Amino acid sequence: MRTLEEIEAYLDAHVSIDQLSKLESAHSLYMYLCGIAGRSVTRVDQLGAQARTCTQLSKHTPEGRPIFNSDDCIAFMACVTGAPAQCCRAWLQRSFLSAMLDEPASSPVLH
């Protein structure tokens, strides 16, 4: 794993502000579909037909508990946004590291 500074530099060089916003929305939707988050800024019915097929990437245990799988999350984000998986992985790593370091991520916050 890279440092937060290295991840920020990679995202600054490879991802536009608009794409960062889309990645954040896709992550929020994945977390919502898994049942980990209570709401999402994007609804499944707002997704294109191809992206709707990606909803199978959200998984649950037989008892119905959510399963978070980072590879599935990255694949979902790439499918929904059209961004390269490497950019999705960097966004997810930055989000995780920012949360662990209790530092806000620099992408726009969506409400």
Q: What is the pLDDT of residues 11-43, one digit of tens each?
A: 999 999 989 988 988 888 888 877 777 665 565
The span from the CA of 44 to the CA of 71, in Å, is: 20
Tokens of 13: 């060089």
Q: Is the pLDDT of residue 60 over 60?
A: yes
More confident residue, 106 or 62: 62
Per-residue model confidence as pLDDT tens digits over 64-88: 887 888 999 999 999 888 999 999 9
Among 53-57, 94-98, 101-105, name the one with the lowest average pLDDT. Answer: 101-105
Host H or E run for residue 66: strand 66-67
pLDDT band at 90 (very low <50, low <70, confident <90, very high): very high
Question: Residue holding tokens 């490879």?
Answer: 14
Specify the pTM. 0.75
Q: Parse the chain into domains and list their residue ranges.
A: 4-101
